[in-house]
Amino acid sequence: MWAFCIYDKTKNTFFLSRDRFGIKPLYYYFDGDKFIFASELKAIRQHNPDMSISESAVNFFFYQKYIGDDLTIFKNCCKLRPSENLLFDLNRKKIARTKYYHLEQEISKHQDTPIKEKLEKIEEAIIDAVQKRLVADVPVGSFLSGGIDSSLISAIIARDKKDFDTFSIGFKDESYNELDFSRIAAEHIKTAHHYEYLDIDQALIEYTIQNMDEPFGDSSVFPTYLLSKITRQKVTVSLSGDAGDEVFGGYDTYKAYKLARYVPRPIIKLSKYLIDLLPPSDKKVTLAFK
């Protein structure tokens, strides 16, 4: 993963690049004259504090709960998309963006590969990815929720690294709490397990929001921040199972959508009507409800 800029003194150009999947952020501001780039929007605002809000970005946020594509919350300020390079000519004041990697093409290459071979390659890739990230000069641990993704990552680590540290966050609301699962997983793979219960107060909310570059509608940012905070007390680097649900379709919503295709539409419409009659709740909903 990367986000960098190279200045070519001979051609008087900036070359910016962002990694294939956009793990590292890279923003830039250009108003036809001034060009500013940084890995955080806050840094750009330091040099240009009077930026106005982008209405397109606000609309995107209320629709998707985040600001995607190359939009940012500010006008004339963009994200460099994943897998993109940018060349800025300081003499001509011109920007050229190019895409150097296409995930869709990689997927199409393997459409005809047998399932068994795909599974073997996926297993090899995951193990290789984890092992490469264990090569570090600082202590390494792992987030462990007890779910499939983080448990798999932690189990792979446990093959080569004994008594390493794992970390979890607990919730006082039992519908969200997964500490029992994380304890079972930690005991099974024999890790030194650490956890705390999430306690959200006004100070935490304000501090977390102040450190966000732009609006983000996923409340998991709060437990993730606290989890990272307790993790940092023991280790410098922590692996996680993030994106496993997105890549492998693990969310209950995906499963519910798949099942819904076999349910007659009149029944779906009736179910929607009945569900709308239920009182609002902030409890975690089950697959049966979805």
3-state secondary structure 253-274: HHHHHHHHCCCCHHHHHHHHHH
Q: Are 40 and 27 in contact (CB under 8 A)?
A: yes
- State the total domains in the chain: 2
Instruction: Say if 272 falls within a structural domain.
Output: no
Find the domain containing 61 and state its range. Answer: 3-103
Same domain, 126 and 154: yes
Q: How confident is the model at residue 256 (pLDDT cuts 50, 70, 90)?
A: confident
Domain boundary at 247, 262, 284, which?
A: 247
pLDDT tens figures, 29-63 = 999 999 999 999 999 999 988 899 999 999 999 99
Same domain, 240 and 140: yes
Instruction: Say if 141 falls within a structural domain.
Output: yes
Domain boundary at 103, 133, 158, which?
A: 103
Question: What's the confidence (pLDDT) of residue 289?
Answer: 46
Same domain, 185 and 232: yes
Same domain, 130 and 224: yes
Interatomic CA distance for residues 56 and 51, integer angstroms = 15
Average pLDDT over residues 259-282: 79
Q: Are 79 and 26 in contact (CB under 8 A)?
A: yes
Over 60: is that where the pLDDT of 286 sits? no
At 82, which CATH number?
Answer: 3.60.20.10
Same domain, 52 and 84: yes
Average pLDDT over residues 103-108: 86
Same domain, 61 and 187: no
Domain boundary at 103, 126, 145, which?
A: 103
**What is the enclosing helix (H) or strand (E) of 5?**
strand 3-8
Same domain, 128 and 95: no
Mean pLDDT is lowest, of 81-90, 153-162, 167-176, 209-218, for: 167-176
Q: Which residue has the tokens 């919730």?
A: 171
At 152, which CATH number?
Answer: 3.40.50.620
Closest by CA position to 136, among listed 239, 230, 233, 225: 239
pLDDT tens figures, 110-121 = 888 999 999 999
pTM above 0.85, yes or no: no
Same domain, 73 and 173: no
Instruction: Give the mean pLDDT of the chain.
Output: 90
Instruction: Say if 126 falls within a structural domain.
Output: yes
Instruction: Say if 13 falls within a structural domain.
Output: yes
Q: How many CB atoms lie within 10 A of CB 284?
A: 14
Same domain, 124 and 235: yes
Instruction: Say if 180 falls within a structural domain.
Output: yes
Same domain, 118 and 96: no
Whole-Å CA distances, 7 to 15, 16, 87, 88, 209: 6, 9, 10, 10, 33
Average pLDDT over residues 263-270: 84
